[in-house]
Amino acid sequence: TAAQRLPGDGWIAGQRVRYFLEAGRRDSALAATRACAADAWWCEALRGLVLHVDGRYAAAESTYDRALAEMPDSTRCAWTDLSVLLDGRAADRYRALSCDERGALDARLWWLAQPFYSLGANDLRTEHFARLTIVRIARESVWPVAASWDTDEHDLIVRYGWPRWFERVRPVLDAD
């Protein structure tokens, strides 16, 4: 109902996709991205997330490439910043580069890191962008993992992935 009343709201679009994915309803999540009327780049990023989760890496990669092309420069620079994945001197040298200067290095790092050459797409790269999509969804919502959102949650999700499901466990009461 909220998506019908406010079709251009990016937050609502993100939450719809998130909840459909958590419920295992990938077809519904993909349909929600088609109905998305928020910023074009955000709708593309949500579509890339769904395609990645569905294992359609080539489609996810081209979708994320479209999202990157449509993003404002500052957003694209933040999304292509790989410094959180680097350590020590490599991270320091990387951070010293401008966004434009990092482009060739980013391409080389993704090429070296590609786990499965036979896929025809870099699923590690689409995983990275899927994690950034989840970060944006989580940052703007109530997230069951953290009491409040800060850079630690961002870095944890980008480095290690996001929780794919949640469970509520009720404590067993002692009979004594």
What is the pLDDT tens value at each position of the chain, 176 positions in all? 888 888 899 999 999 999 999 899 999 999 999 999 999 999 999 999 999 999 999 999 999 999 999 999 999 999 999 988 888 998 899 999 999 999 988 988 888 888 776 667 888 899 999 999 999 998 877 666 655 566 677 777 777 777 766 666 777 776 65
Backbone angles phi, psi at 72, to 5 degrees: -60, 150
Please state, in angstroms and rounded to a whole number, the distance separating the CA atoms of residues 7 and 145.
28
pLDDT of residue 176: 59
pLDDT of residue 148: 59
Amino acid 28 reads S
Q: Which of 120, 110, 59, 111 is nearest to 80 (CA)?
A: 110
Dihedral (Cα; 52, 126, 64, 130), 10-degree rounding: 70
Amino acid 68 reads L
pLDDT of residue 115: 73
Relative orientation angle of helices 57-70 and 40-53, to the nearest 10 degrees: 160
pLDDT of residue 152: 73
**Number of separate helices (H) and strands (E) present in the chain:** 10, 0
Q: Which residues of 144-169 are buried (b: 16+ CB within 10 A; e: fewer)?
A: eeeeebeeebbebbbeeebeeeeeee
Please state, in angstroms and rounded to a whole number, the distance separating the CA atoms of residues 21 and 16.
9
Contacts of 75 (CB under 8 A, 6+ apart): 41
pTM comes to: 0.84
Phi-psi region of 24 (alpha: psi -120 to 50; beta: other; left: phi over 0): left
